[in-house]
Structure 1
């Protein structure tokens, strides 16, 4: 696929979620985000508020990385993040509920956070796709759609099962159609992998090595679908 460096950058949530990240690290991330022209930065909620260059949104995470938090706690965390300047919230579902097919519970969990994230702010739902069967991926995506989410997202990047795959992104896109965004995150480290995710249906990419991905775009015309994931 033909895409410019600037166009690819606008798919990117430039991400720093390491537990050891410091405020100065986040400041450097924000400055680099402006230089690279990315869509947003994504940081831990305790790092908020954070100043970003003009045109760079602020995303954060909720119930991260396990998803094993009470829905009321996730909702409170999301509400505080919005109060502290977040434009987007990436929440983690209860992965076990999806594995066991308890999709009504998954939907209720997402709906609680949706109620705390007001209209005009974006809610992304992390389903940890590498830990799920295809059936569970479909069920979790349908639950996110029913609960009013704006995006479904593959991965936290912290689960031992791995991160994004082309196959999961394609299935997620087929499930939600054009009504929701799909974010590929976790293990996308090259321009080839990034382009493969976009070709499969990703409308956003979570990258921690953004500069390397963008630098690798030179000379890349098509993406190899085998490069996705961890």
Structure 2
């Protein structure tokens, strides 16, 4: 997921012992204390065609920011919701990866440096293998959370734009406004079972796929 790549990159960057890095660590991890409702509201305002900051800054390069607006265009509504979700989960990923980085023995880096390994080789041969348990954990959590996306859709698009309903996810099909009004228990029950099975399959595939790649410290 994009959130995992961004979180790992920011955590590795913030692990450097530089002046003022504490401020950036606080900024990067701040979204973990932000509720989904607040995060969705922030992005709702940022992406508004009339008053949105992003719309004013980048509409020349991305015309759909102004007309009809990312959240109103069936082709861009779902990526816009995903952007909000990634931002909201970035703090969680950053904190978990930062904790994993703190647990890596520094003598491993020193040994790799003595052996002539450059920065990239130290990252791929030392950092990533030692972070593999944390990466597996985050991958499973973020995937499960993505499959359960409801609040962002409800607050940003309401499952629309209508009539395409391009952002109607399975959780929104279960809990959304139209579902409550129609009260189709059969449809909601089937959707809930389907969501569980999809989540289970993804979790099994991820654990099996990472099984031989995850290295636990001894």
Same-fold call, TM cutoff 0.5 = no
Q: TM-score range by the shorter chain?
A: under 0.3
- Which structure has greater strand proportion? 1
TM-score (norm 1): 0.23
TM-score, scaled relative to structure 2:
0.24
Relative contact order, higher structure (CA 8 A, sep 6+): 2
Structure with max Cα Rg: 2
Higher helix proportion: 2
